[in-house]
Amino acid sequence: MKQGIKNLLSTLYRIHMGVVFFITLLIFYLPIRFFLTSEQKKQAIFPVFVAWARLFCLFTGLRIAVKNTYQLKEKQVIFIANHTSFLDIIYMYLLFPKHPFLFLGKAELLKIPLVKTFFKKLHIPVFREAKTKTGQSFKQASEALKNGWSIIIFPEGGIKEKCVPQLQPFKEGAFKLAALHKVPLVPISFLNNYQLFADPSTKNAVAKPGKAEVIVHQIIYIDKNDEETINLKKEEAFDVINQGLRN
């Protein structure tokens, strides 16, 4: 009986989130389309997404608490984080509202109405099944870094539903980009997003308002562009994020 009530409340809240998501996105749809009309206007679009994320969280009762006092001074970085929930994406805008960034994300997002409109033109879709397209994504990310954007990558390669919340082995794309362009990495640990909004396909998937707990770790610099250094930094970043999840 108690579990049934919890499931019902989660379902109702999930519907509420979906309605808020699309209504707030519709509100900002025209400004987004305007800023996407030229390359020169693209970075000016970032505050629009920050405003959208804040509005979404306001109407869904979601909050965020950063568990450290590290202040990010670098203007351009590659953010890397564990990935257990759709909320990881939303909260990035609240965490770093002054660091214009693009997501390197799964191509499946192109199937979502409204989202596909700006994701393909602004962010960088990754087609993991096709190696040629994966290389194209890496090239796009390189161009974005050259143009002054920061990049967000979830190095686990997506949400591994059966493994949440355990951290899964990292792919090396983020570390290759950092080494190639001499851009520092910012590791992030999302501690409880999966407890606020779990994958809808999982059994008794939870969905509820609440406070997300996040740790933004010290920057990791990559000073050499060779395989040994890249692997060492990948292991270091994994250990840092994983240790944060255990706190």
Cα angle 89, 18, 94 (rounded to 5 degrees) comes to 30
User: Domain ranges in the chain?
Assistant: 2-246
Q: How far apart are the first and last CA of the chain?
A: 33
Q: Is the peptide bond before 165 cis (omega within 30 degrees of 0)?
A: yes
Q: What is the pLDDT of residues 48-100, one digit of tens each?
A: 899 999 999 999 999 999 987 667 788 899 999 999 998 999 999 999 999 99
Residue 32 — pLDDT band, cuts 50, 70, 90?
confident
Q: Write down the residue that tokens 């997003």 correspond to.
A: 193
Q: Is 80 exceeded by the pLDDT of residue 131?
A: no
Where residue 112 falls among pLDDT bands split at 50, 70, 90?
A: low
Query: In this structure, what are the phi and psi dihedrals at residue 33, rounded to the nearest 5 degrees?
Result: -60, -40
pLDDT of residue 151: 95
CB 163 within 8 A of CB 225: no
| Closest residue by Cα to residue 189 from 161, 156, 160, 222 | 156
The residue type of 135 is: G
**How many Cβ atoms sit within 10 Å of the Cβ of residue 114?**
14
Residue 120 pLDDT > 80: no
The topology (CATH level 3) of 2-246 is Glycerol-3-phosphate (1)-acyltransferase (3.40.1130)
CA dist 169 and 189 (Å) reads 15
Rounded Cα distance, 187 and 81, in Å: 6
List the single range of 3-7, 9-13, 190-194 with lowest mean pLDDT.
3-7
